[in-house]
Structure 1
Amino acid sequence: MSKWAYNVSLFKEYLGNYIKTRLTYRADFWVEVMSDLLFSAMNLVFIFVVFQHTPSLAGWSEAEVVFVYGYFMIPYGVFGTFFNLWNFSERYIVKGEMDRVLTRPAHSLAQIMLENVDPPSMIGSFVGLAIMGSAWTSLGLPFHWYDPLVLIVMVIGSVLVYAGLYTSLAAISFYSDAPTGIVPLMFNIQNYGRYPIQIYNKGIRFLLTWLLPFAFVGVYPASFFLERHGDLSMSLLTPAVGIVVSAIGLIVWNRGVKRYRGAGS
């Protein structure tokens, strides 16, 4: 059996266990879904409030900013479903569960991803797709036969950007037992990617494009579909940036695992 087939079989097993758990605690499932929806709604309302005081942001209309936000939600939902690494340090390093993971044949990162799969987060992707579709209609954008294919490729690239950055962040736990202070900072920085990058100064634009490339999880790939703001070269870089960032994240993770000496180290 190939590694891919083996990981797929593991995914089915973990997903089955997840469903059994959620069927036992159904209220928790719906509370999580509603909290995610309310959080998304608050962010959307914030955009509407901003545009009550200004007709545009750096030349971007309300519908265009909503379009970017809708796109932003799609890869973020996929990422939240499969790369739920928020409590990695506390659970796997501090409590020593990493020792258990390393005794099993599957790749350590794949195991941790599967153990923490969070399907309710995928609902955010569908909500984002609906928001994007509504803004698409409002803007009167043309619909080409290749747009769904481009959207899939862009979303994959954006998910890989998320995955690479947060995998690297989680891997810091192999070097330090307390990286949690960095997580809120990273979370706040990622939120800059849901707005047009043109509203920021040059320093922040450079940070969001080349150092912590969260512009590739929102405005750059979304602008492919916005003819007035289309930046074709940066949009098409999204898959490449995703591959590079995810590869770096995997390298950092593998090196961190080699450095790991157990819960008592």
Structure 2
Amino acid sequence: MFYLTMFFQYISQYAKTRLQYRADLFVEFLSDLMSQAINLVFILVVFGHTKLLGGWSRDEIIFIYGFFLVPYAVFSAFFNIWNFNERYIVKGELDRILTRPIHSLFQIILEQIELESLLGAVTGITVMVYAGSRLGLEVTWYDPFLFFIFVIGGALVYGGIFVMLACISFWADARTSIMPMMYNISNYGRYPVNIYNKLIRFVLTWILPFAFVGVYPASFFLGKTEWYWYAFLTPLIGVVFFSLSIVLWNHGIKKYRGAGN
């Protein structure tokens, strides 16, 4: 209950701050929408030259992309830790965090929260509805529940990987970061893994499991029975990777000796 109360207090303060600058909020949402539109245009351009890509139709890949946007929006809203190294390690703000009687990762996540990113989920669902209607997909009573579970699992996969990357800063506090490179790699999860070679497919499934954010869970709703067991592994993979990230974080915190050392 203590952590739940703190969560809503952070949310309340965040909402007050963001609503003071409504124009900035609108511009940020518009820029995100344009970025998503560019990625969608790229898919349309590719299918302007071919009807199938690795056995997947244009509308199926658009559906996968729409699904991907939903867990990615949840991740972007609650795991906005791109500048962890620069802000908390190099500038020493982690010292302030550690003086409070609450888990350090929980504080940092809430300090960096960006709830407006959740609007990307609306875009993703809209894209899914559009592609699903063209594909003639039928919705059963349990699909919304599985959708919610798959989305949370995908967001935890993303969160776990990027928290692990943030943990590197406890041992190497250089200003440079591999997060931008990892962000580019994560984009491969937007597309079917069978269009890549076996090595990349293995990496995207078991090493950096970004495929569990997009193609694997989306394949369930597309009726791709050969991918079903991967789809149902999504929440398990998410819990495993996020749990590992917390263990690594707790170990890294013990190695931290302050900004001046």
Q: Deviations over 1:206-262 (max 9, x none)?
A: 010010000000000100111146511111111111111111111111111010011
Q: Distance in 1 between matches of 2:112 and 2:226?
A: 37
Equivalent residue letter for 1:212: L
Which string of whole-angstrom CA distances, capped at 9 and with x for unpartnered residues, describes residues 19-75 of structure 1? 222222222211111111111111011101110011110110000000000000000
**Given the alignment, which residue of 142, 165, 176 partners 1:146?**
142
TM-score w.r.t. the length of structure 2 is 0.97
Aligned equivalents of 1:260, 1:38: Cα separation in 2: 40
Cα distance between partner residues in 2 of 1:250 and 1:213: 17
Aligned to 1:25: 21
Match of 2:250 in 1: 254
Query: Which secondary structure does the structure 2 equivalent of 1:227 belong to?
Result: coil
Structure-2 residue corresponding to 1:123: 119
1:160 aligns with 2:156: yes
Q: What is the rounded CA distance, in whole Å, between the counterparts of 1:126 and 1:47 in structure 2?
A: 19
SS at match of 2:53: coil
| Equivalent in the alignment of 1:173 | 169
1:224 aligned partner, one-letter code = F
Alignment partner of 1:57 out of 53, 75, 95: 53
Q: 2:102 aligned to 103, 106, 124, which one? A: 106
Q: How big is the alpha-carbon RMSD for the aligned residues of Structure 1 and Structure 2?
A: 1.1
Q: Distance in 2 between matches of 1:22 and 1:181?
A: 28
- Matched position secondary structure for 1:231: helix
Aligned residue type for 2:18? R
Pairing partner for 1:243 from 227, 239, 243:
239
Q: Secondary structure at the match of 1:141?
A: coil
1:189 to 185, 197, 202: 185
Give the TM-score taking structure 1 as reference length. Answer: 0.96
Amino acid at match of 2:169: S
Give 1:16 deviation, angstroms.
Answer: 1.7
Which whole-Å deviations, capped at 9, do the CAs of 1:93-114 have from their partners, x for residues lacking one? 1111100101101100000011
Partners of 1:114 and 1:145 lie apart in 2 by 34
1:221 has 2:205 as partner? no
> What 5-or-longer segments of structure 2 have no aligned partner?
none
Which consecutive aligned stretches of 4+ in structure 1 deviate over 4 angstroms post-superposition? Answer: none
**What are structure 1's unaligned runs of at least 5 residues?**
none
Show the counterpart of 1:75: 71
Work out the number of aligned pairs and report it.
261
Identity of aligned residues (%): 55
CA distance in 1, matches of 2:190, 2:237: 17
Q: Which amino acid aligns with 1:250?
A: I
Could you tell me which amino acid in structure 2 is paired with residue 248 of structure 1?
L
AA at the equivalent of 1:141: L
Match of 2:52, SS state, is coil
Tell me the amino acid that sits aligned with residue 91 of structure 1.
R
Q: Could you tell me how far 1:179 is from its partner in structure 2?
A: 6.4
Structure 1 partner of 2:199: 203
